[in-house]
Structure 1
Amino acid sequence: MRTDAALDLRRILFYAGGLVAIYMLGVGVIIATHTQNHPQVGVLVIMFAPMAGALLARFAGPGVIRWGRFSWWMIAGLIPVVTVFVAYAIGSRIGVGVANYGVLGRALILSPIVIFISSLAAVGEESGWRGFLWPLMRQRWSFLVSALVIGAVWWTYHAPLIILGWYGSLAGLPAFTVAIAGVTLFTGVLADRSRAVWPSVIAHGAWNALVATGFAVAGNASLVAFTGSTFWIGEFGWLAAIASLATGALATWWHLSRPMPELATARTPNRAERTPIGSHSPTAPTIALKP
């Protein structure tokens, strides 16, 4: 019952309903507490909107949240942060940023703690994006189509906060869009390969803890390792965007050129066997993931 493809539309509707409800609650918190200039509490509520949708779909769908197991793929979740660090370091060498390596050392020493704390909040998003929605999409669609759908939904989720000035900057939206595309591709690879949500949680948590802060010491805005124009530095800057897209594209190329054994040997159903989302055919087939 929990994997019956005929119930997928029902699951998606419950998911969307739960997500929108908690999202609007977060917006209400920001407005009601008059904290538009410091909307952290409301934004934190919004971060758990995808989890709320996933849990509602899990029990009312009924559906599945693919939590998976801890594995070495969690370490791979740190790769986007490493590539952004390299981009920032190069940027400081060519004059588009300033590096304070003394501060960086302190930031890196504290980074495991900061990433862990940030990952606790990232579970709120990733349980919905990569835990629930990604596996549901991958049962039917190719990797790239699934990434396009998830990326568009994820971008739409952030866009109102950016436009209203509660998160990031509107001027940085083009760069942020590119960064979202790269992270979506990379976390899609992590989700496919690990069959778990935890590597994506680490990737998301590390990004928020280090990239979004310019590698600040425990999030302290006065102790930032990489500074400079927001056009280049920060998660709304082009250095992070370019590094993210390059990382996601390379990971995707590697993933698609080396199919996983169970995917390479699985029979791909023909067109007649495919069941569109929302179909109520009692004999809907189980569709293997496609590379």
Structure 2
Amino acid sequence: MVGTELLSRRPALSFVAVTYLFSWGIWIPAAVTISEPGMLFGAFVVGAFGPAIAGAVMVVATGGRLRAWIRDMLRWRLPARWYLAALGLPLLFVVVETIVYAGIGGSLAPTTLPRRLAVWLGAFPIALLLTGGNEEPGWRGFLQPRLQRTYGALTAALAVGAVWTIWHVPMDVMMPPALDGGGYDASDALSRIATLPLAVVYAWLYNSTDGSVVVTMLFHAGWNTSQTLVPAGFSSELADTPLVTATRVAALLVLVAFLLVAYDRETLADGDAHRGSGVDGSGTESRA
């Protein structure tokens, strides 16, 4: 088929195009036409499946097998240290943020922790399956391995990070005003800047586990929800200031610097990187 041939000629670019068309094609009209918050949020959630859907489309378009692609991504029999890294690193950021929050005059409220933990326990599975982790089959399950076979892990991660950052623009700019009348502020901008170095961390987790998207999904959910655990009063405005957010970004940059010193930039992993075997569901290599 002509459409399939067109997609398969440039799989990476085609993946990006399908992702943007699907997500933006839902987000932008929804923000303009829907006023009911629940329906609007639902539309943004549906659009967030764009990367995963694009990955599936490209697997089929390049002659792969969806079942094999999914099986490779859902590799979960891993050393416990990788689960510890995926779930524990976001908590380290919470510790750093808490120290800074207290340092700028924020009042710690340890008594809020049980309630905050309950909020986090409810938010984590939602972030894992609907508002973060659901993106991973596309970004790490398809685009990262597709690019790194040609360009190496670090360059591929930065490219994925750039695509990922741009993909968020309609959601970042249009969703807050449409839902609560708030605008795009400095904290939001800093959080988005973090997407680029975050892509390096995801690539490290992905390659170090021989292509397990499960681990990157867990880290994604942890990153998106961990700020819930900063032990501030629920009415405090200091817990989400640009300074606290900047601290999180700075801590992330320190982690990335460590990874670049500790690991080869071509692989971002011990030994041979996961260079995309099975990324298309067939185990065969193809051009980016």
TM-score normalised by length of structure 2 = 0.74
Once residues 226 and 108 of structure 2 are traced to their aligned partners in structure 1, the CA distance between those partners, rounded to angstroms, is 14
Structure richer in helix, relative to its length: 2
Q: Which residue of 218, 222, 234 corresponds with 1:206?
A: 222
- 1:89 CA drift (Å): 1.7
Indicate which of 52, 65, 84 corresponds to 1:75. 84
Aligned to 1:12: 12
How many angstroms apart in 2 are the aligned matches of 1:203 and 1:36? 28
* Aligned residue among 239, 258, 267 for 2:247: 239
Q: 1:240 to 1:171 in 2, by over 3 A?
A: same
Unaligned runs of 5+ in 1: 1-6, 267-284
2:41 corresponds in structure 1 to 40
The change in CA–CA distance for 1:286 and 1:48 in structure 2 (over 3 A counts) is closer
- 2:31 alignment partner in structure 1: 30
Match of 2:161 in 1: 151
Please state whether the residue corresponding to 2:35 is helix, strand or coil.
coil
Residue deviations 1:101-137 (CA, integer Å, cap 9, x gap): 2212432366445322320123321111011111111
- Residue 58 in structure 1 maps to residue 34 in structure 2: no
Q: Is the 8 A contact 2:230 2:239 kept in 1?
A: no
**Identity of aligned pairs, percent?**
21
Query: Contact 2:141/2:213 (CA < 8 Å) preserved in 1?
Result: yes
- Going from structure 1 to structure 2, the CA distance change for 1:229 and 1:198 (only over 3 Å counts) comes to closer
Name the CA distance, whole Å, in 2 between partners of 1:182 and 1:12.
20
Change (3 A) 1:45 1:30: farther
After superposition, the C-alpha distances for 1:147-166 in whole angstroms (9 at most, x for unaligned) are 21011111101123323353
Q: RMSD value over aligned CA atoms?
A: 3.5
Q: Which moved more, 1:128-137 or 1:19-28?
A: 19-28
Change (3 A) 1:97 1:81: farther
Q: Give the CA deviation at 1:14.
A: 3.8
* Paired residue type of 2:254: A
One-letter amino acid of the structure 2 residue matched with residue 215 of structure 1:
L
Q: CA deviation at 1:58?
A: 1.2
Q: Secondary structure at the match of 1:78?
A: helix
Deviation per CA, 1:59-79: give whole Å up to 9, x if none.
122355651411332331123
Q: Which runs of 5 or more residues in structure 2 are unaligned?
A: 1-6, 178-182, 276-283
The count of aligned residue pairs is 255
Offset at residue 206 of structure 1 (A): 1.3
Quote how far apart the aligned CAs of 1:225 are: 8.5
